[in-house]
Amino acid sequence: MSHVHCHSHPRRPASGAEGYAARKHPEFVVLDIGGDLGALIVHTDAELHGVEIEISPEHDHQRRSHKQVLERSIDARPAFTAVFDGLPAGVYVLWRDGQARARHVSVGAGEVAQLDWRAAA
Protein backbone atom coordinates (compact mmCIF):
# COMPACT_ATOMS: atom_id res chain seq x y z
CA MET A 1 0.00 0.00 0.00
CA SER A 2 1.31 3.45 -0.80
CA HIS A 3 0.15 6.90 0.10
CA VAL A 4 1.06 10.39 -0.91
CA HIS A 5 0.67 13.40 1.28
CA CYS A 6 1.24 16.87 0.05
CA HIS A 7 2.68 19.58 2.25
CA SER A 8 5.99 21.30 2.63
CA HIS A 9 8.66 21.03 5.25
CA PRO A 10 11.59 23.32 5.85
CA ARG A 11 14.91 21.97 4.60
CA ARG A 12 16.80 20.21 7.35
CA PRO A 13 20.47 21.10 7.35
CA ALA A 14 22.79 18.13 6.97
CA SER A 15 24.92 19.30 9.89
CA GLY A 16 21.86 19.33 12.15
CA ALA A 17 20.44 15.94 11.20
CA GLU A 18 18.50 14.96 14.29
CA GLY A 19 16.48 12.06 15.63
CA TYR A 20 15.54 9.46 13.09
CA ALA A 21 17.89 10.72 10.37
CA ALA A 22 20.86 11.14 12.72
CA ARG A 23 21.32 7.45 13.46
CA LYS A 24 22.70 4.87 11.03
CA HIS A 25 20.09 2.63 9.44
CA PRO A 26 21.46 -0.93 9.28
CA GLU A 27 18.01 -2.49 8.90
CA PHE A 28 16.80 -3.85 5.58
CA VAL A 29 14.60 -1.64 3.43
CA VAL A 30 11.27 -3.22 2.51
CA LEU A 31 9.99 -1.95 -0.83
CA ASP A 32 6.38 -1.76 -1.96
CA ILE A 33 6.79 -2.77 -5.63
CA GLY A 34 4.99 -5.04 -8.07
CA GLY A 35 2.12 -4.72 -10.47
CA ASP A 36 2.32 -1.14 -11.72
CA LEU A 37 4.43 0.05 -8.74
CA GLY A 38 8.19 0.58 -8.73
CA ALA A 39 10.81 2.19 -6.52
CA LEU A 40 13.64 4.72 -6.80
CA ILE A 41 16.85 4.77 -4.77
CA VAL A 42 18.62 8.14 -4.84
CA HIS A 43 22.33 7.98 -3.92
CA THR A 44 23.69 11.26 -2.51
CA ASP A 45 26.78 12.70 -0.87
CA ALA A 46 27.08 12.77 2.94
CA GLU A 47 26.40 16.53 2.84
CA LEU A 48 22.72 15.77 2.16
CA HIS A 49 22.36 13.54 5.24
CA GLY A 50 19.05 14.45 6.90
CA VAL A 51 17.85 16.62 4.01
CA GLU A 52 14.39 15.98 2.59
CA ILE A 53 14.14 15.29 -1.12
CA GLU A 54 10.76 15.57 -2.80
CA ILE A 55 9.45 13.67 -5.80
CA SER A 56 6.52 14.44 -8.09
CA PRO A 57 5.12 12.94 -11.26
CA GLU A 58 6.57 14.87 -14.19
CA HIS A 59 3.08 15.95 -15.27
CA ASP A 60 1.82 16.96 -11.79
CA HIS A 61 4.33 18.99 -9.75
CA GLN A 62 1.72 19.78 -7.09
CA ARG A 63 1.52 16.11 -6.04
CA ARG A 64 4.79 15.70 -4.16
CA SER A 65 5.96 13.29 -1.51
CA HIS A 66 9.24 13.37 0.36
CA LYS A 67 11.92 11.22 1.98
CA GLN A 68 14.92 12.08 4.11
CA VAL A 69 18.42 11.13 3.06
CA LEU A 70 19.50 8.49 5.57
CA GLU A 71 22.84 6.87 6.28
CA ARG A 72 22.80 3.21 5.35
CA SER A 73 25.51 0.69 4.55
CA ILE A 74 26.29 -0.79 1.13
CA ASP A 75 29.09 -3.35 1.00
CA ALA A 76 30.15 -2.31 4.53
CA ARG A 77 30.63 1.31 3.43
CA PRO A 78 28.53 4.32 4.43
CA ALA A 79 25.91 5.20 1.83
CA PHE A 80 23.53 8.15 1.93
CA THR A 81 20.26 7.38 0.20
CA ALA A 82 16.64 8.42 -0.10
CA VAL A 83 14.36 5.50 -0.96
CA PHE A 84 11.01 6.11 -2.66
CA ASP A 85 8.81 3.05 -3.05
CA GLY A 86 5.21 2.47 -4.07
CA LEU A 87 5.65 4.77 -7.08
CA PRO A 88 3.32 4.20 -10.02
CA ALA A 89 5.40 3.45 -13.12
CA GLY A 90 6.18 6.71 -14.88
CA VAL A 91 8.48 9.68 -15.16
CA TYR A 92 9.31 11.87 -12.16
CA VAL A 93 10.98 15.10 -11.05
CA LEU A 94 13.14 15.34 -7.91
CA TRP A 95 13.09 18.54 -5.86
CA ARG A 96 15.32 20.03 -3.20
CA ASP A 97 14.72 23.34 -1.47
CA GLY A 98 11.71 23.95 -3.72
CA GLN A 99 13.79 23.70 -6.90
CA ALA A 100 13.56 20.96 -9.53
CA ARG A 101 16.99 19.27 -9.45
CA ALA A 102 16.50 16.16 -11.60
CA ARG A 103 13.94 15.72 -14.37
CA HIS A 104 12.90 12.82 -16.58
CA VAL A 105 13.63 10.17 -13.92
CA SER A 106 12.00 6.92 -15.09
CA VAL A 107 10.59 4.34 -12.72
CA GLY A 108 9.41 1.05 -14.24
CA ALA A 109 6.62 -1.20 -13.02
CA GLY A 110 7.97 -3.84 -10.63
CA GLU A 111 11.49 -2.40 -10.89
CA VAL A 112 13.94 -0.56 -8.67
CA ALA A 113 15.49 2.42 -10.47
CA GLN A 114 18.62 4.09 -9.12
CA LEU A 115 19.81 7.67 -9.50
CA ASP A 116 23.33 8.80 -8.66
CA TRP A 117 22.83 12.34 -7.31
CA ARG A 118 26.28 12.70 -5.79
CA ALA A 119 27.93 16.05 -6.48
CA ALA A 120 25.07 16.86 -8.85
CA ALA A 121 22.40 18.27 -6.57
Cβ distance 111 to 33 under 8 Å?
yes
Mean pLDDT along residues 9-21: 47
Domain CATH number, residue 52: 2.60.40
CA distance 69 to 72: 9
Q: Is 82 helix (H, G, I), strand (E, B) or coil?
A: strand
In this prediction the pTM is 0.77
The 3-state secondary structure of 23-54 reads CCCCCCCCCCCECCEEEEEEEECHHHCCCEEE
Q: What is the pLDDT of residues 40-90, one digit of tens each?
A: 999 999 999 999 999 999 999 999 999 999 998 888 888 999 999 999 999
Say if 8 falls within a structural domain: no
pLDDT for the residue 32: 86
User: Would you say residue 23 lies in a domain?
Assistant: yes
Range of the domain at 26: 14-116
State the average pLDDT over residues 7-13.
Answer: 39
Q: What is the pLDDT of residue 55?
A: 98
